[in-house]
Chain A
Amino acid sequence: MTALVEINAPASAPTVAPRRPFVALLRRPMGAIGVGMLLIALAVAILAPFIAPYDPYANVRVTIFDIYQAPSGAHLLGTDDRGKDVFSALLYGTRVSLLVGFSAALIALVIGGLVGIVAGYRGGRIGAGLMRITDFFLVIPDLALQIVIVAIAGQSLVNIIIVIGALGWTTTARVVRSQTLSVRERKFVLRAKAIGAGDIHILRRHILPQVLPLMLAIMVLVISLAILAESTLAFLGLGDPTLTSWGQMLNFAFTRGAVSAGAWWALIPPGFAIVWVVLGTTLLGTALEEALNPRLKRHHLERDRSGSRPVPELDGAGSLVLPPPRPANAPLLSVRDLVVEFDSPSGPLRAVDGVSFDMRRGETIGLVGESGSGKTTTVLAMLRLLPPGGRVVSGQVMFDGEDLMGLDARKLRAVRWSRLAIVFQGAMNALNPVRTVGDQVAEAIRTHEPSAGRRAAITRAEELLERVGIPRQRARDYPHTYSGGMRQRAMIALALACSPDIVVADEPTTALDVMIQAQILELLAGLSSELGMATIMVTHDLGVVGQRCDRVLVMYGGIIAEEAEAFRLYAHPQHPYTQQLLASFPDLSHPERKLAGIAGIPPRLDDMPPGCPFAPRCPHVFDRCRVERPPAYDLSHGRRAACFLVEPGHERRPASAGGAADA
């Protein structure tokens, strides 16, 4: 009844189920070693009568001189307290351990699996009742109970198996229940119900296939628990007296003077035999669980293996020389040729491929793109906040005269939030659930103004919250008590805490209702113009940026496809992607107009077209687009578009001509 198994019970169901878990298992060193150790133990158990030099069950007359003989040619591991060969007993002991382990685990699995599935799938009173029973068994110290039952019921192998099995089911039941519960809540089960499928069908086709592999992993771990339990009972003198088991060997040796006789050979080998089998099963179980439920994620504090990288484009001397005095009209933020890659098993994937843009003080720009276009990655890369596995390969992010890519950690921290803050999407997860909202806002203030006292910071946090429309007293509440809209407001208050020069709003209204969306956008726009902050709106919604932004950058497949002032972009989109994206948006001023959509699917990072990323879906595509990546062409009014169609000197052809060139 231990929780080692509990560790790996997934809180939520795995999203990626490997196609061939057993191959994945053997690829892991842990799994391969575990399987190897167990196979050896299994072979020994089967072959014991053939390879053991003596039969431990045979009645042999011994004299006092046969007892505790040191290892020798005749007795590889010496003799025990009865003058018997330790090595032979060791080989035979494997049989008892494995037999008890497997049978008891099977009993535990059947009971626990059944209880777990019923409790998880039925829910309601039956489920709750079953879980209460499980909870009860959890507080019963199981070894004590095993001792009591075996002492009263008798020390036979069958009793021991039944007792260990019947008491070991609770762990299985808990894990299986939580897995069943999480599978039951998944949408494909709801869909099966909507189809009209009965419980039997749903259990057989949808629940069991998801739960069984996990049960296998648990069973392996329960085997190790059962083997430990058996040896412990035997060591305490409660084993089956007619059988030779490792625990019993240790019991006899320990209680009959092996320690004082210095007969380590009677103690150490059976002990490590137990370790061998249990370690083998544990390794196998752990590897099995990991193979079934891979944890791909790496956490945010892992070492950035690329480190803070000196900017390669600069000359060796250039980085030491002070930056040239900045002209008065220099942009506040200037991103140049930013390239970001992510590690993957098949090599680095390029998520952002040469993004450049400028931003002036107080300006509002929109960064628009569909999923996978690289818009969020661009923003995170600017502050070197990429998730582990991601790195900036090249490029510059000049912010107020300094390249953020080359700053040391301390200077970088000083820029973060106090000068450039981010309103993250999904404020539920972006706020720490166990700290109050006010406390989290105050923390940002105190980080950048260490002189501000605790009390003063809290007061300022309350003022900020009030400013975004959250009553002052709610500052003391935890994020889970807030509604979705309020959390997003709190996130905005947090972003404003240090009066930054730039606020990045990363999909600030996704998953919010339209009315709340409108409230949040209004609030954000009002505050940024009031405080003179520059704002970057990252969004997939062209409607949002059209009304709120001065300038719009359209991203596709990791590049900036088009950049223009908002009204020019909408009036005369230049890039075919922009044109088609605009046509995909509903426009209530023309409610009857059907949406156009774009044929095909957005490119995948692991399958980027060699030429223009939009080429496979572009109606105007021609041969050059497929092999050569179009650069960003500067057009009039500070516009840019990365398309050969706008190349100076390119003959403007109608769509049909473009199609013809294609053929």
Chain B
Amino acid sequence: MQGRGRYLASKVGWALVTLFVVITFNFFLFRILPGDPARTLIRDPRVNPAAREALTRRFGLDKPVLLNFQGGNPFDSQYFAYLGALSRGDLGQSFAKRDQTVADLIGRALGNTLLLILPAQVLSIIIGIVLGLVAAWRRGTSIDGAALIFSLFMWSLPTFFLGILLLFAGAQWFELPTAGRVTIGASYGSLWDEVYDIGRHLLLPTVTFTLVLLGEYMLIMRSSVIDVLSEDYILTAKAKGLTTFHIIRDHAVKNAMLPMVTLIALNLGFTVSGAIQVESVFSYPGLGYLTVNAVGTRDFPVLQGAFLLLAICVVIANLAAELVYGWIDPRVTEA
């Protein structure tokens, strides 16, 4: 078990390092690029002196960027002010919605996004695994061919366009709501009614998202299962007199899951970009929608906060995938 502990420690350690790099990257991203938002705002003649003063203090714009060499505390700089604020959970004030903090805004949006992403991920993983398994087992048959064409087509379909198609169809034929999380102005008689309303709103985005993720999961599972089924230990299992069902259940699935887990980890960035598109199409108030809106209103504190949160989510999910991998494959934790 020592090997397992070491593996765990190294993965958690690496995730922490990545987290720190992400935070730092996020700081400099908004300082380096031409059109640095904070400075642009300060130079804007329409901003009144009092507000300018407040902004300067808030971002510490009169201080050096990284380290303070002008005597005194070397950590008295913009970067460390940012780290300090971050450690207090202070991501600043929204430009567009003056009365709201960024933390509140993105916190609420994160919950909505998870409500969308998690069921879609789970659904697409399960369906993708099953279809991939069948396609691989029946390799070269028409089932396999159909599955292959389906996944290549899904891969080529831009997420937002699939969303538009489903939105069109859903609104036209099924009278499903096409925007938002709840019906605006609705009042609910019971909790069940509210859940039902949210569910109806989530239906189209979830279907879109599931379809988008499904094709690729299926492709990977298919090729992974084919690889595993060509291994010598499958021949051993067959020679042992196991039925096809048992061979697949006891010898193929777990082994074939290894590349799947890696893929799911690699794919998290893709998941986020899918969420941004789906939320934009369905005006669903999640992190992605918030991000795109923040661009439109030039609400940089929100943009910065949302980007940071998205990146952190990916780091955490990535770590989870690595841990699952270590749990499935005995080879990585020992040796």
A–B direct touch in complex (beta carbons closer than 8 A): yes
Residues of A within 8 A of B (CB): 1-4, 6-8, 11, 135-136, 138-145, 147-149, 151-154, 224, 228, 231-232, 235-238, 250, 254, 259, 264, 267-268, 271, 274-275, 278-279, 282-283, 286, 295, 297-303, 383, 385, 387, 413-418, 421-422, 424, 426, 429-435, 443-444, 447-448, 478, 480-481, 494
Q: Is B18 an interface residue (CB 8 A)?
A: yes
Q: Evaluate contact between B158 and A433: CB separation under 8 angstroms.
A: no
Determine if B22 is an interface residue (Cβ-Cβ < 8 Å): yes
Contact partner of A300 among B153, B229, B268, B291, CB < 8 A?
B229
Question: Is B159's CB under 8 angstroms from A232's CB?
Answer: yes
Q: Which residues of A contact B291 (CB under 8 A)?
A: 144, 147
**Number of residues from B at the complex interface, CB < 8 A:** 95
- For residue B140, CB closer than 8 A to chain A, the reply is yes
Q: What 7 additional pairs, Cβ within 8 angstroms, besides A152-B33, A275-B156, A299-B226?
A: A140-B314, A141-B310, A286-B152, A302-B140, A414-B241, A416-B239, A434-B258
**Contact B269 A1, beta carbon cutoff 8 Å:** yes
State the CA gap A264–B164 with chains docked (Å). 10
Distance to closest chain B CB from A633 (angstroms): 34
Cross-chain contact A448 with B241 (CB below 8 angstroms): yes
The B interface is mostly helix, strand or loop, or mixed, namely helix
* B156 A232 Cβ-Cβ under 8 A: no
User: Is B80 among interface residues, defined by CB-CB distance under 8 A?
Assistant: no
Contact: B254 with A434, CB < 8 Å? yes
Contacts of A418 in B (CB 8 A): 241
Contact A147 B276 (CB under 8 A): yes
Measured between C-beta atoms, what is the minimum distance from B163 to chain A in Å?
9
Which residues of chain A are near B137, meaning CB under 8 Å?
A: 301
| A48 CA / B198 CA spacing, docked (Å) | 46
Q: Which of B51-59, B92-100, B200-208, B242-250 lies on the face that meets chain A? A: B242-250
Assembled-state Cα–Cα distance A480/B139 (Å):
30
Q: By the criterion CB–CB under 8 Å, are A153 and B239 in contact? A: no
Chain A to chain B: the 10 pairs with minimum beta-carbon distance, closest first: A143-B273, A299-B229, A141-B272, A416-B241, A429-B232, A279-B156, A271-B161, A278-B156, A413-B241, A478-B330
CA distance A250 to B165 in the complex (A): 12
Residue interface mask B22-38, A partner, CB < 8 A = 1: 10010001100111110
Are A145 and B241 in contact, with the CB atoms below 8 A?
no
Residue of B nearest to A441 (CB): B240
Please tell me which stretch of B41-49, B102-110, B215-223 contacts chain A, meaning at least 4 of its Cβ atoms lie within 8 angstroms of it: B215-223
| CB-CB contacts below 8 Å: B136-165 with A | 136-140, 152-153, 155-161, 164-165
Which of A4, A271, A429, A431 makes the CB contact (< 8 A) with B165?
A271
Give complex CA distance A445, B314 in Å.
Answer: 45
A144 to B303 CA separation, bound complex (whole angstroms): 9
B6 at the interface (CB under 8 A from A): no
B167 sits at the interface (CB 8 A): yes
B residues within 8 A CB of A274? 156, 158, 161
**When chains A and B are docked, how far (Å) is the Cα of A141 from the Cα of B306?**
11
| Set of chain B residues within 8 Å of A443, measured between Cβ atoms | 240, 242, 250
Q: Are A232 and B139 in contact (CB under 8 A)?
A: no
Whether a CB of chain A sits under 8 angstroms from the CB of B324 is no
Q: Shortest beta-carbon distance, B180 to chain A, in Å?
A: 15
How many Å lie between the Cα of A34 and that of B251 in the bound state?
37
A426 and B232 contact, CB distance less than 8 A: yes
A136 touches B331 (CB 8 A): no
Contact assessment for B280 and A145 in the assembled complex, using a CB-CB cutoff below 8 Å: no
Q: Whole-angstrom distance between the alpha carbons of A416 and B228 in the complex?
A: 21
> What are 12 A-B interface contacts by the 8 Å CB criterion?
A1-B270, A136-B18, A254-B281, A267-B164, A297-B230, A429-B231, A430-B235, A433-B233, A433-B330, A434-B329, A480-B330, A480-B334
> In the complex, A2 Cα to B19 Cα: how many Å?
21
Option from A139, A149, A228, A297 in Cβ contact (under 8 Å) with B158: A228
A422 to B238, CA, bound (A): 11
With A224-B156, A432-B255, A447-B241 as contacts: A139 and B273 at CB distance below 8 Å: no
Q: Does B135 contact A (CB under 8 A)?
A: no
Q: How far is the CA of A282 from the CA of B151 in the complex (A)?
A: 11
Residue in A148, A237, A282, A301 whose beta carbon sits within 8 Å of that of B247 in the complex? A301
Binary A-proximity of B324-335 (CB < 8 A = 1, otherwise 0): 000011110011
Beta-carbon contacts under 8 Å, B288-325 to A: 288, 291-292, 295-296, 298, 303, 306-307, 310-311, 314-315, 318
On whether A142 and B273 interact (CB within 8 A), knowing A152-B33, A271-B165, the answer reads yes
Choose from B22, B165, B223, B239 the contact partner of A139 (Cβ within 8 Å): B22
Q: In the complex the two chains form, is B226's CB within 8 Å of A431's CB?
A: no
Q: Are A148 and B303 in contact (CB under 8 A)?
A: yes
Decide yes or no: A279 and B273 within 8 Å by CB, A385-B238, A416-B240 being known contacts. no
Are A144 and B229 in contact, CB atoms less than 8 angstroms apart? Answer: no
Contact residues in A for B296 (Cβ distance below 8 Å): 237
Q: A279-B152, A430-B236 are in contact. Are A250 and B161 (CB under 8 A)?
A: yes
Q: Are A282 and B155 in contact (CB-based, < 8 A)?
A: yes
Query: B69 at the A/B interface (Cβ < 8 Å)?
Result: no
Partner of B310, one of A144, A153, A224, A385: A144
Q: Do A271 and B164 touch (CB < 8 A)?
A: yes
What CA separation (Å) do A279 and B18 show in the bound complex?
Answer: 35
Supposing A147-B295, A301-B248 touch, asked if A231 and B158 sit within 8 A by C-beta, the answer is: yes
Whether a CB of chain A sits under 8 angstroms from the CB of B21 is yes
Distance between Cα atoms of A152 and B295 in the complex (Å): 9
- Complex Cα distance A275/B238, Å? 43
B266 touches A3 (CB 8 A): yes
Once the chains bind, are B168 and A147 in contact (CB under 8 Å)? no
Contact: B160 with A235, CB < 8 Å? Answer: yes
Question: Inside 8 A of A424's CB, which chain B residues have their CB?
Answer: 232, 235-236, 239
